[in-house]
A and B are shown apart, each in its own frame.
Chain A
Amino acid sequence: MRRRRLILLTVLLGIDVVFFGWCILERTSRPAPPRPPAEGIVDSETARDFQRLWVLAENPGPADMLALGQAYAVYGFFPEADQCLQRAIALRPEAAANWFWSGLVLNRLGQTARSTERLLEAARLDPDRVDECRYIAARNHLRDDSLAKAEDEVRQIGPDHLAGQYLLAYLMVHTDRSAEAMPILDRLIARFAQVHRLYQLRARAEELLGDDEAARRDRETAERVPESIATDAVADHLGEKSYEFGLERRIVAAGRLNTPGNLDALANELTTILSISYRPRIARLLASIELRRGRSDAAVTLLKQLIRRDGATSDTLIELGLAMDAAEQDLTQVLLVFQQALQYQLDPEICRLMSPFVKDSAANVDRLEALQKHAEGLQAFRENRLDQAVTLFEAAAPVAHQRQAESNFFLGECLWHLDRREAALEAYRRCLELRPHHGRAADRIGYVDQIEQVDRKGEG
């Protein structure tokens, strides 16, 4: 009896060992999550975050493999991200986010057919993503030169998805169906009147339909409406997600320290971040914090280094000028920095900042004020605030400065669009008197003559 028990126990133990041994072997034979060749490419903070996510993904919970895939994707390791997201799908096929992110990553790898398949599955699982998924899928089809499939996809996008509706109209205009595109564009413009690309596309359609005058009007309107359409959906998603991982996440966390009582802690944290990896926007932020802390010399040093590493821009030069002024550096040098900033951008703010430094002669003060009015006028013109722009250009135009001709031209443009034709012509003529080779002013006058001839013929 005892012997039979012993045999039974041995058999059971043997079965246990074989069964659980097989389970352990199966378990350990699973592939490890991929590791990208990150050394020397990503900073130490991001590398640490990769390692943390990698450990979690080795024995993944529901979202761990997705998180690792996203982290790899936002730092450009797309092949590794692809593999993680394939596994995320295998682990949780019911999660739309897994399919969606896999679709985005495959889009970046140029694997358009697989990307489209994944995106459409994401759309099936998550009704809120349908339009966006179809839009990216349509772009994938265009990347494969499959126009019919792209159009089929885009026709299923809802009327509220501006980029999708724009794409539908775009495809029509560019495949000799401008007449079909016009009602779509008219409807979109009625709803999104401040989006310049709609006017530009309608102008193209009008030109193709032979209506050059309407095309001209729409192009002129496109100059005066400020908004655009977000058509880089994949880039936008990757950009937004980047703030959740690596050094970018630490930067976001540092931003929360940006309160008046916390400036020292914030400056320390930003200095540490800069020592980990040089980021121009962090250098600029740190310079502004140093200025607020009364450490203007440190701000000047940071901004000069920023210019050396990232090039001069008007924004950086403005900040450098302000820091130099706060550090009580030579006023002539400060003025030179602001003058340089003006070369990069005609900005009324720069003119305002310069004004205390140019009190040496009344003529210089007048010129600078006129330049400021001109710059403000351009801003108002671009935002279609024509009445304000007229006032500003009228103030700028009489003063003898280098942009006087240009002020008169834009004054003419504003008056023209306000239907004050005679006054507009006068401004264009003044522009030509000052700069006889001003092409746009000459074109305008020629155009007005043309219209008047047509009008006279009509009356005759």
Chain B
Amino acid sequence: MVPLATWIAWPNLPATGTPSPLFDGSSVYPATTLPFQPQSMGPAIEIPARISHVQIVDLDGDSHPEILACDALAHRLLSYKRSADGEWIEHQISSDMATPAHATVVDIDNDGDLDILVAILGNTFPDDSHVGRVLLLERNGDRYLRHVLLEGTRRIADIQAGDLDGDGDLDLAVAEFGYARGRVLWLENLGQRRFRDHQLLYAPGTINVPLADLDGDGDLDIIANVSQDDEEIWGFENTGGGRFKKRLLHKWLNFDIGGSGMITADLDKDGDTDLLVTVGDNLEYAYTYPQPYHGCFWFENTGEWSFTVHRISTLGGAHAASVTDLDGDGDNDVVLVSMFNAWHHDESASLVWLENDGHQQFTHWQIASEPTHLVTVATGDLDRDGRPDIVAGGWHVIPPFRRLGGVSTWLSGSGDRK
């Protein structure tokens, strides 16, 4: 009887044991004690947004900062301006722009107002055809006139402006990301909105081309973050007269590392320009997971084109960085966003700040776990209270599609500043 009953019941016996704990690779940090007030800009998000770039800038010169955002889903450039009653009002600066990737605000024609250079990707998804453009939105009173400065190129990810050949006008550095093929260019300003393109590097996947006087010789050099077939940081030393010497500053042989962004900043306040590089891109996967090598590197400028590389963060899926003194203690802190944390877990960090102890030793503090999929971040005093605020943009092309956000701000409050 007993064996028969056991035999009959055997396939239907429930499993009631305790499973072994699951692996957890998500990046979660202690909650910050700095007070922040989160807010979403614009209408409520119904459709997964694709904000490719945000920045804080006083576009109209009225001493009230605005947020400038590239909306790569609706193909438009937006600004958010605070009204007298404290409401943020959305303005469309330009539309029908074929996937704007990055906007650079600069007085390109030296007429006293701020124009906008827009890097046109042409296609969000991998594409090697000539769909990229360098667009100029020339400010003319309250309007912007659109000019194409360069076309017939592959996808353009970044444009920066500066006098690169020492002739007094503004030239451009351009990241032609492409896909399997791409280049780093500089565009020589010939006047009357004509620019002659010069190739500096033939390599696909350049994300950023910031300008800085890296060697302290008084002119602007170009730095390029290349992240496709190779994962490399290149410097182009300005040797005068529109000539550049190519220097490989760093390379990772781990080409899964996923270079995602680079900014310049004097992080240690020693008077030279350092680099901050985020790694954490995983776009080749339909579903992503943070990797142990993701995070942020500080490239400490030690002079003579040499850099000491310090890993300062392990934030999974890190995608962008901004430097500011967030806690008001006189040193530079770092704000990071994540695009690819373990979003199945509600507590995974999307926005963190790294508290600097004054000796570039950093402690992670979590500011937010939503919205998820943040790819761009900027800091600045949005509400003119003397404290830096944070703005970030969400890029939702990979599931899960919940805890969505477009342009979001975190205004710093006046409570305990740790």
Contact = CB atoms under 8 A, between A and B. Distances in A.
A184 to B, nearest CB: 16
B152 A29 contact: no
A110 interface: yes
A219 B284 contact: no
Interface residues of B, number: 76
Closest 8 CB pairs of A and B: A76-B287, A439-B197, A32-B15, A437-B196, A31-B19, A79-B22, A31-B17, A16-B2
Contact of A439 (B198, B256, B284): B198
B75 A312 contact: yes
Given A37-B344, A311-B73, A82 B23 contact: yes
Contacts of A438: 196-197
B64 interface: no
B95 to A, nearest CB: 11
Given A109-B23, A145-B253, A235 B286 contact: yes
Contact of B130 (A24, A76, A200, A378): A378
A24 B99 contact: no
A77 B26 CA distance: 12
Nearest to B195: A437
A452 interface: no
Nearest to A75: B287
Interface in B4-20: 5-6, 9-20
Contact of A311 (B6, B99, B345): B99
Contacts of A32: 14-17, 19
Contacts of B152: 403, 406
Given A83-B20, A311-B73, A311-B124, 14 more contacts: A24-B9, A29-B17, A37-B345, A41-B344, A78-B287, A110-B293, A142-B255, A171-B253, A203-B202, A238-B286, A309-B48, A311-B75, A346-B130, A403-B152
A434 to B, nearest CB: 13
A102 to B, nearest CB: 12
B199 A439 contact: yes
B47 A59 contact: no
Contact of B123 (A27, A345, A403): A345
A437 B253 CA distance: 38
SS of B interface (majority) = loop
A228 interface: yes
Interface string B189-211: 01000111111001100000000
B154 to A, nearest CB: 11
B129 A345 contact: yes
7 contacts: A27-B10, A29-B16, A31-B17, A33-B15, A83-B20, A143-B257, A346-B129
B12 to A, nearest CB: 8
Contact of A344 (B122, B251, B285, B287): B122
A78 B24 CA distance: 10
B13 A24 contact: yes
B82 interface: no
B24 A34 contact: no
B72 interface: yes
Contact of B17 (A30, A200, A340): A30
B358 interface: no
B181 interface: yes
